[in-house]
Chain A
Amino acid sequence: MLAEKVDQMMEWSSRRSVIRMNGDKFRRFVKAPPRNYSVIVMFTALQPQRQCSVCRQANEEYQVLANSWRYSSAFSNKLFFTVVDYDEGADVFQQLNMNSAPTFMHFPSKGKPKRADTFDLQRIGFASEQLAKWIADRTDVQIRVFRPPNYSGTIALALLVSLVGGLLYLRRNNLEFIYNKTGWAMAALCVVFAMTSGQMWNHIRGPPYAHKNPQNGQVSYIHGSSQAQFVAESHIILLLNAAISMGMVLLNEAASSKGDVGKRRIICLVGLGLVVFFFSFLLSIFRSKYHGYPYSFLIK
């Protein structure tokens, strides 16, 4: 009986590193004794109609981990990776009283799963390394996570280089545009605006785009604390900064260009308006975030 189960599991896992289970299989191979192997089960909902994007990300990490185990030299019949999809084994979910996906559980070779046999997804996240650490903790099986090398970055770089190279080659008779100061200045300003509006913070911290209050459905674009920001907020700031800078440039243009006086006056006023208005606007946003800041200008 036991040997038969192990053989069956080994056969499945030789075909696929993660074994798909339905209700019957789950009960026979995971729940029911006798067993001498540990099973890691991912309960998930991968069907597109479930719209579970976290499940898909978790699944990728899980596949990476299972493959690392499957093709490692330490691979044995002591540990199997399985998955139960909600749409194939809803009864299992009910049986285990489980109402959220994805969930990772470890079924030890002896006895029932304890509290610590459920992976603490909320706190640790589902990176393969964390999963491997948890598995090592529960089963004493060390898995070295081997990620398939990611070539997308290299390919993108190569594409970009070849694109730029191709462009240069096609326009080799007319390379004037490289010496176009406006283009370079624009590029430099883009970098500056992106950084001063905190895009790097967004990149590292990954905040939500905006916050929607679940009670009244109100959407706030500005984070209330000075320690954090929303993506939308940083875009607003980017635009404000750009507007102020443009105002300064326009003020300069108005005075230094040789054109119609009336037009220059309008440019000058527009520039001034941009600087003053958007700066007061920026200041008022800052004031709303930095509590206790006493100063404001034009706009409260």
Chain B
Amino acid sequence: MAEHHTAPDYKHKASSNAAGALSGNGRAGSSGGSGGLSGGLTQPAGWQSLLSFTILFLAWLAGFSSRLFAVIRFESIIHEFDPWFNYRSTHHLTTNGFYEFLNWFDERAWYPLGRIVGGTVYPGLMLTAGLIHYVLNLLNVTVHIRDVCVFLAPVFSGLTSISTFLLTRELWNQGAGLLAACFIAIVPGYISRSVAGSFDNEGIAIFALQFTYYLWVKSVKTGSVFWAIACCLSYFYMVSAWGGYVFIINLIPLHVFVLLLMQRFSRRLYIAYSTFYIVGLVLSMQIPFVGFQPIRTSEHMAAAGVFALLQAYAFLQYLKDRLTRQEFQTLFFLGVSLAAGVVFFTVIYLTYTGEPYHHLYAKIHIPIIASVSEHQPTTWVSFFFDLHILVCTFPAGLWFCIKNINDERVFVALYAISAVYFAGVMVRLMLTLTPVVCMLSAIAFSNVFEHYLGDDMKREKPPAEDSSDEDDKRNSGNLYDKAGKVRKHVSDIVTMLMLMLLMMFAVHCTWVTSNAYSSPSVVLASYNHDGSRNILDDFREAYYWLRQNTDEHARVMSWWDYGYQIAGMANRTTLVDNNTWNNSHIALVGKAMSSNESAAYEIMKSLDVDYVLIIFGGVIGYSGDDINKFLWMVRIAEGEHPKDIRESDYFTPQGEFRVDKAGSPTLLNCLMYKMSYYRFGEMQLDFRTPPGFDRTRNAEIGNKDIRLKHLEEAFTSEHWLVRIYRVKKEDNRQGLDHKPRNLSQKQKYISKKLMGGKCAPRGAWLAWRRGAL
């Protein structure tokens, strides 16, 4: 019943999505329309599945095409920072094979330490991309591995919407499922991590997450080992893909625990969880990076505790059949209160000392974590920006779920509450909230449409068509007949306004995707007044210069943000990179950047640095440059070397951070400042501003006469965005510390003596030689 009535609406939804996504609009509109208008009502089941299939296909298409902004505007290129590492290791995998990849020791990262890549990554992403590449090549479709990597996330977004459809169908009904699939296909909260080119773990992990949840709900519903094993396999894929699997291994036990509290224990639950826990545990330990963590660390203990509790509970249930009532009650009270108490307090203890608080703590205390913008708490604007109307309507869906509770709706309610908490703590966890918001909003909207669109359908359809839904319809018909004309108009208005809200959602999603989430950040674009576009390709220009003009084993020092890109694009050895596992090494680089030149030279010599790469945005007004990140370098350096670096030295006495004449002398003479503004003082950008005017910080720089002693400028890109300096080698022989004036006196003295015909002492003669040199 519900499906019939709601289905045409989803068609509208899907086509409006596709239209919003700019591409494929004509096709989407026409095929969606024909699906709805065709009079295939004689076979309801066939009609329904065809429509579902079409809608899911269109959702996939809309999701895929709305992720292509960056590819169309720029080119097929890997984005940002982390994806470059993933791409590099995928490339390594495809060229050297699986075992080489697992044993890969990357000596080009973290010089001189190196990095064991095979044991410190979640390999799922690379293996997926590598497998697709392999299969395509077997079929003689010769694509480059880069293209596979670029388009992997958009393709997987389609799979995500299908698994969301499946999960929502299990939770509510098919109509809500279709709506949820459409939502998740285009919602910005998920697009932010899965545009074409952002080749990152999250892109495939959200699919794995949703699919695991679907299989879990399915196995709780059926109680069959088959579904539980399928759930484990999906969980295994998730573990191999993303560290966020911890969320699953805590949520599913929580679900079981709450079901026990609600006295909803059943054999089905027992079979599902026992199978899931044991097989899932063994499988998850097969990933080298995870190893023995599942039986060691606190995040995984809740799962073990609930497993024990479930066994105890089942055992008691078994005893209940064997013992007398009196005996049993005593035993029951003792056992259950003890076990429940222990488990409950363990869970509470773990949630408090586990992930979220850990992050909260880290955020306050460790500069390197605080410096990453993804680890900030979330404002309401971010929620609204990423979810738009869904964030306002999903509580309604949650309400409906709790009011009509059953086993699997307990699950979705727990999912919603825990995910919303984590999303509030940390911006990046918005990603785990997005799917559940889509599902619950879809439930809310589908509920409304079921009631208000149903009216329309009834009026249009002659009453004697569906024999199966006959009674139901007549009932509702009778109910609404009393309302008469006005009622009909009201429901029309409701439908129209709801559709309008959904349309606005689609438009919002497209706008956000296009404007906020489709920048590769490797290539920048600027727009002129007439709308024409300038491409600033400085990053790749500089990296390519490094690749072509430096020694193959040259070591490049830069701030950690650019480590992966240098390794990926320039193929040179880096000191630190985005895998920020070694704080002291990063602090050493930070110290070099924030010391004066000669102190920095000592550090750079000890680290064998050949080149230094910095990002400077003062010419074009690029705000994400190294001077703006500089205080973090100082803070991180101060954390490890408090005697040498002090943050307060870099501020003016008034506590300001300024680069102009009023800035602190320590800042004006540190290496980073010198490298950023070297020769910049001679440069006049336009006639209104003095030479050496920094556009990012809107200030005339304070130190225009910069001379470098141990470094020399090697390369500066077209818009000065990337500047590379060569570290000069030491002189063959170091000059003495003696003052030259002393020597010349000595020289005079010696010559006098020589003239006097006496033999000069040997030391003096040596000194004279040195002076002459």
Contact = CB atoms under 8 A, between A and B. Distances in A.
Contacts of B659: none
B396 interface: yes
B400 A286 contact: no
Contacts of A293: 511
Contact of B424 (A185, A195, A227, A272): A195
Given A229-B379, A261-B483, A200 B424 contact: yes
B412 to A, nearest CB: 11
Contacts of B413: 188
A297 interface: yes
From B378, B389, B395, B447, residue with most partner A Cβ within 10 Å? B395
A117 to B, nearest CB: 13
Given A229-B379, A256-B451, A290-B381, A251 B420 contact: no
A139 B484 CA distance: 88
Contacts of A192: 394-395, 398, 416-417, 420
From A248, A256, A294, residue with most partner B Cβ within 10 Å? A248
Interface stretch (A31-39, A65-73, A85-93, A233-241): A233-241
A229 B494 contact: no
A168 interface: no
Contact of B383 (A198, A276, A278): A198
A229 B452 contact: no
Nearest to B481: A261
Interface string B395-427: 110111011010000000100110011011100
A227 B376 CA distance: 11
B391 interface: yes
From B383, B448, B501, residue with most partner A Cβ within 10 Å? B448
Contacts of A115: 653
Contacts of B381: 198, 226-227, 229, 286, 289-290
B393 A244 contact: yes
B402 A181 contact: yes
A199 interface: yes
A228 B393 contact: no
A52 interface: no
A123 interface: yes
B545 interface: no
B497 interface: yes
B29 interface: no
Nearest to A195: B424
Interface string B359-383: 0100100000000000001111101
A196 B380 contact: yes
A209 to B, nearest CB: 16
B392 interface: yes
A3 interface: no
B648 interface: yes
Contacts of B384: 282, 286
Contact of A265 (B360, B379, B487): B487
A191 interface: yes
B504 interface: yes
A227 B379 contact: yes
B507 interface: yes
B396 A249 contact: yes
A248 B490 contact: no
A204 interface: yes
Contacts of B400: 249, 252
Contacts of B425: 200
Measured as residues with beta carbon below 8 angstroms from the partner, the interface class of chain B is: 35 or more
Interface in B479-514: 479, 482-483, 486-487, 490, 493-494, 497, 500-501, 504, 507-508, 511
Contacts of A181: 402-403, 405
Contact of A245 (B392, B451, B482, B501): B392
Contacts of B448: 248, 251-252, 255
A259 B500 CA distance: 29
B494 A251 contact: yes
B442 to A, nearest CB: 12
Contact of B655 (A123, A184, A205): A123
Nearest to A271: B494
B589 interface: no
A113 B655 CA distance: 20
A265 to B, nearest CB: 6
A269 interface: yes
Contacts of A233: 380
Interface in A132-180: none
B444 interface: yes
Given A255-B451, A276-B497, A188 B483 contact: no
B377 A195 contact: no
Interface in A183-215: 184-185, 188-189, 191-201, 203-205
Contact of B398 (A182, A189, A197, A199): A189
A184 B404 CA distance: 12
Nearest to B487: A265
A46 interface: no
A200 B378 contact: yes
Interface in A263-300: 264-265, 268-269, 272, 275-276, 278-279, 282, 286, 289-290, 293-295, 297
Interface string B143-168: 00000000000000000000000000
A295 B499 CA distance: 16
B451 A272 contact: no
21 contacts: A120-B655, A181-B403, A188-B417, A191-B420, A196-B424, A227-B379, A228-B379, A237-B380, A240-B392, A245-B399, A248-B444, A251-B451, A252-B400, A252-B447, A252-B451, A255-B451, A261-B487, A272-B493, A272-B494, A297-B500, A297-B504
Ordered nearest first, which 3 A-B pairs have the shortest CB separation?
Answer: A255-B451, A248-B396, A200-B424
